[in-house]
Structure 1
Amino acid sequence: MRKIFFLLLAALTIQLHLHAQGYQLTVKLKNYTSGKLFLANYMGRTTYLADSTEVNAAGEAVLKGKTPLLPGIYLIVLPGKEKYLETLIDKQQVFAVTIDTTDLVNKTVYKNSADNDLFLAYNKFIYQLESQAAAITEQLKNAHTAADSASIAPQQQALGKKVQEYRNDLITKHPGTLLATIFKAMKEPEIPQKPAGEDSSFAYRYFKAHYWDEVDLASDRLVRTPVLEGKLKKYFAQLVVNMPDSINADCDALIAMTRKSKETFKYVLWWLTYNYESSPYMGMDGVFVHLVEKYYVPGEAFWLNAEQLNKIVNRAYTLAPNLIGQQAAPLELKDTASKPVSLYKTQAKFTVLVFWDPTCGHCKTEVPRLDSAYKASWKNKGVTMIGVKTEGSREEWLSFIKEHKLNGWIHASDPEPASNYRRLYDVYSTPVVYLLDEKKKIVAKRLAVEQLNEFIDRSAGKNAAARL
């Protein structure tokens, strides 16, 4: 027992010593006598500079720092930035690597890095399969019929099976290593045979329910790899129901899984926030607002300073009043004769609310197109058009209305100004278009004419069906 105690104490001392050392990567380059060497890390699929140093006359460069690097896949970028070597960084952060640029796979040698010995062996294995993969690709190019392509499929499957068997073998023989963690995360759930009584959605439900089983979200080890971002993209693009309420629930469930790792929590919350704040799909701003209200407002975004946090929170508060399904904010405006115009006193089955500027190039194209759709179809479906001038002089406004014969619209402006429409309707560029229902709830927003036409047709059809 005393001997085991001293062995454990010695191991702990070594680990503490290495931790105190931070990191030191000694890189020996053949055929280099100068230049700058860079160390970059993945953050998702993007790479960021982590360190750099000069290559000496002997072709040696030492990258070192007092603070240990966070685990992940790093890139040793050679002088000239045309070639790089992927390298694993985990617990062991003092090691050496000799690189021969004539063959980065077969002539690279690591010293004192068991993780990279495993990684290098895997890369050599993949390199050996490349000629077979290239031959299969060539056969597919030359395939003339569906039968030809089908006959090649078993070769592809066999090759894929070899790769997966290699990965599974490494997971079994080297559990707990960074490479095993990466390979486990790359695996996808194997769907069992559908049990009796289950409906056709069983495969989807099983796959989704077990999607994250092999992904280590409780540690920081996958953040600085491309794997985690790939898993996030597939999950939210293909498995999550594309409705804000469903997305919100899945976001919260996933974030809860990351609570034991500050770096994973940070990355997943950031990715979700950015993904839905910048989404081109209508209604996804509701997810952004949900994330901000639940995680940013209570102060959980620990990596942001006060100024950065305020910008995100203010953006969410700007969007919150005009989310899909919300009651539109009241608008009290003045028409072209300076008489009152009230949004809620304007009775209509549908209201198309257009914020526009007679001097805006995009408005000059879109507003006449909206008017054409209104006169051709929407008017007969109970649509009322309300146009709100945001910029430009009164003369430019009236001239545009007359020139393009925008008859039948309610034209309004806010000359005082007093309605605060810019904040309430998030109007910071033009045109901005909202579709409101009979009760002035927001049905759609920021759509082109064709998309808006589809929404009006669909909504009109629903109303007709409801009356039957």
Structure 2
Amino acid sequence: MSFISCGNGNAADTSNSNAVSTYTSGGNYKRISQTPDPNRKLENLDVKLKIEGMPNGTFYLMGIFAEQYFLVDSLRPVNGVVHFKRDEPVTPGLYYALYPDRSTAIQMIIDADQSFTLSTVDGDIVNSMKVNGSKETEMLYESMKFELGMQPEFNRVGAAFQNLQVGSAEHNALIEEQKQLMDKKVAHLESMFRKDPKSLFTAFKEAGQNPNIKYDFETNGSLSTAYLAELKKEYWTNTNFDDPRLMRTPVISNKLEKYYGSIMPQQPDSIKKYTDILINQCLNNDEYYKYFVNWITLKYEPTKTSLMDAEAVFVHMIQNYFTKERAFWQDTVQTYGIQMRAYEMASSLVGQVGPNVTADGIDGKTYSINDIKTPYIIVYMWNPECEHCAEQTPKLVDLYNNQSPKEFEVYGIAVNTEDDKWRDAVKKYGMPWISVFDPTNKAIYAKYYVDNTPELYILNPERKIIGKNLKVNQVYTIIDRDKEKRGN
């Protein structure tokens, strides 16, 4: 379910791609939020919503877990009041009273105080909001009003950056002005945090702030490598992983999206390194652990990402976190199945020596990858009835025939087919390279992983895998890049 919230849509700075970091040095941040007493008494839900100019129709009380919204209650106003009431408490978190047409969602923080009244005016939800009985929600709207009041100044400064040269006097002056605005905003928030460090408001808003790292730019205006490296390191510093309430706000899922979407370099080694650092912070919290492990693994599931070697991340996640000891939410059969899939991928990751394959060729002779003498080898996994193979195979034939001098050999492996179909296709395409087929699949099992055919791997002179999941038009890009590294 998607909808538009009033004010700041997620009430967290991580939802705003233009949010600006504070300007002190990283690594010294002392988190203010504290974990509340898990045994504190929760009131039964009793929330009254009064709106001047209230629209007709059914209102919906929505909760959230990670990025999934769920319906708590739905009802129509009676005598101008929407009254959400239960004989039990709801789980603490951020909730939304959703308009009948789903155009507006009125935010509220529900923790121990679950009996309160919200009064406001349609069309001016935030500035007109009055809260009676919920300190958490009162703090939420105080911060939202403050940020709305500052927004014109942030917009003015942001617009003034357009077309300015990085490092110019005008650019530096705007950086300083932006810094002063952020200092004012952060000081206001931190003063609120210190008033009630155990509140969900504090945990939620503090987690949503960017780390305290000074901006550093390259000459082209992009953020510097040093800044991004520090940002990766400090990104989760102000998130309290001992507080389960945060999972019932959008802040955790928003931070994950930003971390892996725009901060993390899309390189398997970096992804694995910083993922381990993140997950190690929440090994003792089952909800965070399960969510992070599943979210990251699904993001880099090989069929769902354009990352060249997504299998490297996927295998790392499965082998380290989807074990029978750690994947407590799965039964042993599910764990075994996903472990076997990772095992099948593990031998053909970029940077590893490509495994040898020995199989019978179309002439009845036996051929091995390790016997090939050309500097580079293309391992081409294909199927005679595959549409994409019909598109890519003729291109590979042309590329092969036009080599001068010959730099690569192709070791073509037919998969999931029958002997006569393989032979007919080899003749049809005029494949000039080594073509093999093993109807038992024993020769290739757990060696070169194939998600979808055709699958194209490139091995360099040391027979290390330097490219995979490639199209034919990318072959020389990968080979030339490897030759440059060698100084050829």
**TM-score for the superposition, normalised by structure 2:** 0.75
Does the alignment pair 1:458 with 2:481? yes
Equivalent residue, structure 2, for 1:319: 345
- Pairing 1:228-377 to 2, within 5 Å after superposition: 228-233=252-257, 235=259, 244-277=268-301, 278-305=304-331, 308-377=334-403
Distance 1:87 1:212, change over 3 A: same
Measure the CA separation in 1 of the matches of 2:344 and 2:269: 20
Measure the CA separation in 2 of the matches of 1:129 and 1:285: 45
Superposition CA RMSD, Å: 3.8
Conserved in 1, the CA contact under 8 Å of 2:89 and 2:114? no
Residues 299-334 of structure 1: CA deviation (Å, up to 9, x unaligned): 323334556545533432332232223444443433
Deviates more, 1:106-115 or 1:32-41: 32-41
Conserved in 2, the CA contact under 8 Å of 1:325 and 1:443? yes
Measure the CA separation in 2 of the matches of 1:348 and 1:202: 41
User: 223, 227, 240: which is aligned to 1:216?
Assistant: 240
Distance 1:63 1:373, change over 3 A: farther
Deviation at 1:291, TM superposition (A): 2.1
User: 115, 119, 122: which is aligned to 1:98?
Assistant: 119
Equivalent residue, structure 2, for 1:78: 99
Residues 249-270 of structure 1: CA deviation (Å, up to 9, x unaligned): 4322322211343322222222
Deviation at 1:459, TM superposition (A): 3.0
Helix, strand or coil for the counterpart of 1:181?
helix
Equivalent residue, structure 1, for 2:82: 60
Equivalent residue, structure 1, for 2:436: 412
Equivalent residue, structure 2, for 1:383: 408
Conserved in 1, the CA contact under 8 Å of 2:467 and 2:478? yes
Conserved in 2, the CA contact under 8 Å of 1:35 and 1:55? yes
The one-letter code sitting in structure 1 at the alignment partner of 2:251 is V
Helix, strand or coil for the counterpart of 1:110?
strand
Residues 132-188 of structure 1: CA deviation (Å, up to 9, x unaligned): 4455566667x7999897476665554444322322322233323222223333131
The one-letter code sitting in structure 2 at the alignment partner of 1:295 is Y
Conserved in 2, the CA contact under 8 Å of 1:332 and 1:343? yes
Distance 1:313 1:29, change over 3 A: farther
Equivalent residue, structure 1, for 2:49: 27
Deviates more, 1:150-159 or 1:104-113: 150-159
Pick 1 or 2: higher relative contact order, CA cutoff 8 A, min separation 6.
2
Equivalent residue, structure 1, for 2:198: 176
Conserved in 2, the CA contact under 8 Å of 1:330 and 1:343? yes
Equivalent residue, structure 1, for 2:27: none
Equivalent residue, structure 1, for 2:109: 88
Q: Could you tell me the percent identity over the aligned residues?
A: 23
Measure the CA separation in 2 of the matches of 1:156 and 1:445: 45
Equivalent residue, structure 2, for 1:108: 129
Conserved in 2, the CA contact under 8 Å of 1:218 and 1:259? no
The one-letter code sitting in structure 2 at the alignment partner of 1:213 is T
Deviation at 1:438, TM superposition (A): 4.5
Conserved in 1, the CA contact under 8 Å of 2:358 and 2:369? yes
Measure the CA separation in 2 of the matches of 1:65 and 1:368: 69
Equivalent residue, structure 2, for 1:430: 453
Measure the CA separation in 2 of the matches of 1:181 and 1:126: 18
Measure the CA separation in 1 of the matches of 2:429 and 2:406: 22
Measure the CA separation in 1 of the matches of 2:181 and 2:204: 20
Conserved in 2, the CA contact under 8 Å of 1:24 and 1:62? yes
Conserved in 1, the CA contact under 8 Å of 2:358 and 2:443? no
Q: Which has the larger radius of gyration?
A: 1
Residues 175-224 of structure 1: CA deviation (Å, up to 9, x unaligned): 2322222333313124699xxxxxx9986766555443322122223333
**TM-score for the superposition, normalised by structure 1:** 0.78
Residues 54-79 of structure 1: CA deviation (Å, up to 9, x unaligned): 224434231547464143x3322222
Measure the CA separation in 2 of the matches of 1:126 and 1:91: 26
User: 436, 440, 465: which is aligned to 1:442?
Assistant: 465
Conserved in 1, the CA contact under 8 Å of 2:312 and 2:346? yes
Conserved in 2, the CA contact under 8 Å of 1:29 and 1:98? yes
Helix, strand or coil for the counterpart of 2:440?
coil
Conserved in 2, the CA contact under 8 Å of 1:223 and 1:267? no
Measure the CA separation in 1 of the matches of 2:315 and 2:392: 29
The one-letter code sitting in structure 2 at the alignment partner of 1:76 is A
Equivalent residue, structure 2, for 1:3: none
Residues 217-254 of structure 1: CA deviation (Å, up to 9, x unaligned): 22223333343344445555677676545543432232
Measure the CA separation in 2 of the matches of 1:116 and 1:190: 29
Measure the CA separation in 1 of the matches of 2:89 and 2:49: 19
Deviation at 1:431, TM superposition (A): 0.8
Measure the CA separation in 1 of the matches of 2:49 and 2:336: 43
Helix, strand or coil for the counterpart of 2:476?
helix
Measure the CA separation in 1 of the matches of 2:294 and 2:105: 28
Deviates more, 1:304-313 or 1:53-62: 304-313
Conserved in 2, the CA contact under 8 Å of 1:422 and 1:428? no
The one-letter code sitting in structure 1 at the alignment partner of 2:135 is A
The one-letter code sitting in structure 2 at the alignment partner of 1:107 is S
Measure the CA separation in 2 of the matches of 1:361 and 1:205: 43
Measure the CA separation in 1 of the matches of 2:482 and 2:165: 45
Deviation at 1:353, TM superposition (A): 1.0
The one-letter code sitting in structure 2 at the alignment partner of 1:432 is E
Distance 1:170 1:425, change over 3 A: same
Residues 31-83 of structure 1: CA deviation (Å, up to 9, x unaligned): 2454241313151xx34214132224434231547464143x33222222221
Aligned residues: 437
Deviation at 1:118, TM superposition (A): 0.7
Measure the CA separation in 2 of the matches of 1:125 and 1:269: 36
Does the alignment pair 1:225 with 2:249? yes
